Amino acid sequence: MKITWRRMLLGVAVAGVIGQVSAFSLGGEDAVVIPPPTLDEITQAHSETAVFAGGCFWGVQGVFQHVKGVQKAVSGYAGGAANTAEYERVSEGDTGHAESVQVTFDPTQVSYGSLLQIYFSVAHNPTELNRQGPDSGTQYRSALFPVNADQQKVAQAYIAQLDAAHAYSKPIVTKLESYNGFYPAEDYHQDFLTEHPSYPYIVINDMPKVANLKQVFAQRYQEKPVLVKDGS
């Protein structure tokens, strides 16, 4: 069975040697300040869903749970079949699934384009191919799963806009993939960042993302996260 960095760091925590984690030379990504999309959705609906994949779902979920207008953010799997949507199986890297987060939001409070800006700026590094930080494999790829034609159009235009502006030192590798369903992850993965703020992987890789959200998107940041297990 494949041993992930997360499980390795859990062993470190259990052994009581968290202070030695720095030896792994891991760290959160710096935020990249980018312009908002010039093309965005226009809708009067008060609820919409979007699916984002950007590496480990713990951090991506944790970021979106702190965004005003987000009603729910659920960790899970997208891109593969229902019968392989299980953590141990997805971790093998050959299911077609990506660790993903399904975000339910109120477009009158935060638009899909604004969520994309947060996704590309602080939630992950869109220039890393099939990896994020210490995690590697197609299950950690940068991908968007538009659920309708408008999302497809906005996402495609925004990637082109950012590439044309040379917003990053390397090309964006984020792919737009067909949405064929989203499968929630196991209960123990939900709200992981909030429930385990001192977990080494979270401290090193994910808490900086939330801090970047608060700094770069202060007007969109909410201190109290919207948690799955609260039913809110």
Helix (H, G, I), strand (E, B) or coil at 89: helix
* Residue 48 contacts residue 151 (beta carbons within 8 Å): no
Please say if 56 is a catalytic residue: yes
Query: Which of 229, 213, 171, 228 is CA-nearest to residue 68?
Result: 213
Secondary structure of 12-32 as H, E, C letters: HHHCCCHHHHHHHCCCCCCCC
Kindly report the backbone phi and psi dihedral angles of residue 68, in degrees, each rounded to the nearest multiple of 5, phi listed first.
Answer: -60, 135
Q: Of residues 12, 56, 73, 98, which has the active-site annotation?
A: 56
52 DSSP β-pair partners:
101, 144
So which residues are the catalytic ones?
56
